[in-house]
Amino acid sequence: MNFWKDLKKPFTVLAPMEDVTDVVFRSIVADCGRPDVFFTEFTSADGLNSPGREKVAKRLVKRNVESPIVAQIWGKKPENYFKAAQDIVEMGFDGIDINMGCPVRKIVKQGVCSALIDNEPLAHEVIQATIEGTAGKIPVSVKTRLGFKVKRTEEWAAFLLNHDIQALTIHGRISKEMSKFPCDWDEIKKVVDLKNKLGKDIVIIGNGDVNSLDEVDQRVRETGVDGVMIGRGVFKDPFVFNPNKSIRDLNLNERLDLVETHVDRFAEQYGTKRNFEVLKRFFKIYVSDFDGANEIRQKFMEVKSFNEVKELIKSLRS
Ligand SMILES: Cc1cc2nc3c(=O)[nH]c(=O)nc-3n(C[C@H](O)[C@H](O)[C@H](O)COP(=O)(O)O)c2cc1C
């Protein structure tokens, strides 16, 4: 049961992005031009095993249009990874990914996510517990960086590649760099070379600063990665995975269709339970980079309810 093996190479992956790649935006990206693999936002394994479970589990809502889809988890306690993995199998996900890359200070202070790079004993326990929780029913993968405070790409990658994981995503920065410095694809190539040297049957996915399918091809040629993951590229163009279309091809009415579809699906999914302001990040994506965009976008920034946004869309349609 390893969907990674069945993918035609090179393949593309939509990156997990907290408060961005929820079920609603994933469905929009699927409409615009599907990646080969989707990831959920990161979800706390400890939270899933707490009284707050119901709220946390909302991150794991999925629709059939996003497939294959990998649930990403993070957390501290191996026993919670075990139980979360059991749940995720039960929920019908195609894979489970362990976050060992998030650099956010309040998170790494808890000794989790990218802090696991400097705590191999706990990283080992977490991977083993997750693998045991899946009982071999779905593949386990890890998404990580080149190091925590300093680059230690090969040593860290060798440690991970010696586990029974099926895929490894390398974001070409260390944790301390957050996303401020350019991604180092030469280091990502070192991971591919190491995997080949060790003779491991593990899929390597490169990630960082890729914004088009041409760049995907270039990175694959340069490094030999099996697939490329794109995150912020979807902010610039939600059609980034579509070889034949770009958001720049859309006229205003078509852009408004995207806004309206997003708002309708958001309302259907969350009603008024989720902060309406979250939508503004998406309005910026759909209403940018054309003559008169700034003025129209400003109007979207001022709306405060589903009704107001619907009225605005109506008034802008020609
Ligand atoms: C808003 C935002 C939220 C993110 N949330 C997650 C997350 O939940 N899990 C994760 O592994 N990485 C997360 N990341 C990191 C991305 O998955 C990706 O590794 C990073 O943005 C670099 O790729 P890019 O240059 O294609 O954006 C997030 C990034 C952004 C910008």
Mutate to test the pocket of ligand 1, among 12, 18, 42, 108 (most ligand atoms within 8 A of CB): 18
pLDDT tens digit sequence for 41-98:
999 999 999 999 999 999 999 998 899 999 999 999 999 999 999 999 999 999 999 9
Mean of the pLDDT values across residues 238-265? 98
Any ligand 1 atom below 6 A from CB of 35 = no
pLDDT for residue 280 = 97
Look up the CATH architecture of domain 3-236. Answer: Alpha-Beta Barrel (3.20)
Question: 318 pLDDT band (50/70/90 cuts)?
Answer: confident
Q: Determine if ligand 1 sits within 6 Å of the CB of residue 170.
A: no
pLDDT at 181 > cutoff 90: no
202-219 mean pLDDT = 98
Neighbours of 36 (CB within 10 A): 16
**Is residue 59 in contact with ligand 1, taking CB distance under 6 Å?**
no
Residue 303 has a pLDDT of 97
- Average pLDDT estimate for 301-309: 97
Residues 44, 49, 52: CA angle, nearest 5 degrees: 80
Catalytic residues: 102
The rounded percent of the chain whose pLDDT value lies above 70 is: 100
In 61-201, the DSSP E strands lie at 69-74, 95-100, 140-144, 167-171
Query: CA-CA distances (angstroms) from residue 83 to 129, 134, 242, 251?
Result: 9, 9, 37, 48
> Average pLDDT, stretch 107-118?
97
Distance 54 CA to ligand 1 centre (A): 24
Residue nearest to atom 18 of ligand 1 (CA): 231
Is a pLDDT exceeding 90 seen at residue 5?
yes
* pLDDT for the residue 178: 75
How large is the average pLDDT for residues 124-135?
Answer: 98
pLDDT range class, residue 179, cuts 50, 70, 90? confident
Which residues belong to CATH 3.20.20.70 in the chain?
3-236
Q: For residue 65, what pLDDT is reported?
A: 87
Query: Ligand 1: which atom is nearest the Cα of residue 169?
Result: 19
Give the residue-averaged pLDDT of 251-275: 96
| Rounded mean pLDDT, 298-302 | 98
Ligand 1 mean position, distance from CA 259 (Å): 23
Q: How far is the CA of 19 from the centre of ligand 1 (A)?
A: 10
| Of residues 286, 285, 279, the one with CA closest to residue 303 | 279
Report the distance separating Cα 257 and Cα 272, nearest Å.
Answer: 21
Is residue 291 within a helix (H) or strand (E), and if so which, with residue range?
Answer: none
Cα–ligand 1 centroid distance for 174 (angstroms) = 13
Region 216-235 average pLDDT: 98
The amino acid sitting at 313 is I
Q: So what's the pLDDT on residue 1?
A: 83
